[in-house]
Structure 1
């Protein structure tokens, strides 16, 4: 039996320029999400929380529009597992484009393409990964995009690895009764 260590994401040497990462999680935006982030960020544009006023907005056909800060955060968060789980630092976040409105009830997905790689000159334990990320709604409409660069640890650095604590009671083992009469956990 094997122990699979707690390691998430990719390290610098795992990226290839031109590879596309379709991030595995989608996120449906609720009214509570939108209201909470709008109030938390003190964004007082009533198109985000006042349905009566939003009815006058010709761009949204009278619907409440999701706070763009929430859209940025959700798409960025969705991309972390593949693009920056082992980042040491964000370096650049440019060319943000809001290309389609996001509404309450929309489900957001994200994908990224690696556009550049270089070893850090000042940090030998890391490299710079550049990417373009875009968010799509459930209908495939691109709702947002940007360019981003992050400093990502190399696997050799050990950063982001070997952090899981050793249990004082010893390793987790299969009880004797559970292993009797089974093959790979399946009853015979």
Structure 2
């Protein structure tokens, strides 16, 4: 046998390119990750979160959640991070989310494993990249679904399409995704009961009936992003995307802030005005509208899109459908789009989600 080249025998992972994906492909992601109280502590150190349920074991128990759950977004970040080496290591951009449901609370001691199925593909007209659609599912150590979601990501091709056509392009398959999850699609944690809810301990008196559809809420406070914090957060979730750490990964030499870091920052800031929107039940959709970098100051505002009773939740629990908008710099006018329909300057994140709140 001829000698094996050390280069061709490489055991390292360079990530998947657009050509490596096929519709129906199922990927089991490494590595299972056990959630700890350290995750809760670090999350609180990284984001100014003050929601009572994940902050206080006694408060959580008083509303029927014992053992004490961690923030839903901790579970999301951990599960999302598992998918990066296989789905988006060679990404141009993470484009959006849909149909994200939290099926049950996650507690310290739970171990999350994630798998993804490719549900759509579309090569871009430039022949240099394409959009990959995946449905990812995170299960705990008992095999129970903790959360699942869809996302679509633009991924580089290993080899650009041949000049004069894109005969190498796969058949375009675009999945049908719900624009919003209905109230009956929401999963309410077993035992959740807000009938003895302590509004003083939670920090605000506002309940379900105090919010009106169309209402805008300025969350007022801002936080300036730093490289050490966003890199620590992204490593905490074992997200290996090069653009978040390596100054050589982008032509401008800047480390791109992980989009989930902006989501968690905006969610934490939304406490001011939505302190009783205690639990995220689902994320209907989300777009990272513009990149964020160290030195940017993030502010947030929300719009109440809908209100609903949740089937099977009892009379003490309601759901608010909220649009959470993160901006670079404070926008007191709370403008999402221009008259031309484009996102307004400064908008970083447009997130549509359902939150559970006392009635």
Please classify the TM superposition score into its range, dividing by the shorter chain length. Answer: 0.7 to 0.9
SS at match of 1:156: coil
2:226 matched residue in structure 1:
none
Q: What does 1:134-153 correspond to in 2, within 5 Å?
A: 134-153=137-156
**Structure 2: gaps (5+ residues):** 161-241, 243-247, 249-359
Contact 1:57–1:63 under 8 Å retained in 2: no
2:134 matched residue in structure 1:
131
Contact 1:38–1:48 under 8 Å retained in 2: no
Aligned residues: 156
2:324 matched residue in structure 1:
none
Cα deviation, 1:103-151, whole Å, max 9, x if unaligned, reads 0110011010000111012x42101100101111111111111110000
1:39 deviates by: 4.3
**Structure 1: gaps (5+ residues):** 164-188
User: How large is the Cα RMSD of the aligned pairs?
Assistant: 1.8
State whether structure 2 residue 57 is matched by structure 1 residue 51: yes
d(CA) in 1 for partners of 2:81 and 2:47?
17
Length-normalised TM-score, structure 1: 0.77
Cα deviation, 1:36-88, whole Å, max 9, x if unaligned, reads 21342222112213122222121x2x221111111111111001111111111
Cα deviation, 1:160-188, whole Å, max 9, x if unaligned, reads 9xx9xxxxxxxxxxxxxxxxxxxxxxxxx
2:31 matched residue in structure 1:
25
Match of 2:42 among 36, 41, 45: 36
| Cα gap change, 1:150 to 1:32, in 2 (>3 Å) | same
| Cα gap change, 1:124 to 1:8, in 2 (>3 Å) | same
Contact 1:118–1:128 under 8 Å retained in 2: yes
1:90 matched residue in structure 2:
94
1:7 deviates by: 4.5
d(CA) in 2 for partners of 1:15 and 1:99?
28
d(CA) in 2 for partners of 1:55 and 1:66?
13
State whether structure 2 residue 83 is matched by structure 1 residue 76: no
Length-normalised TM-score, structure 2: 0.41
d(CA) in 1 for partners of 2:115 and 2:11?
26
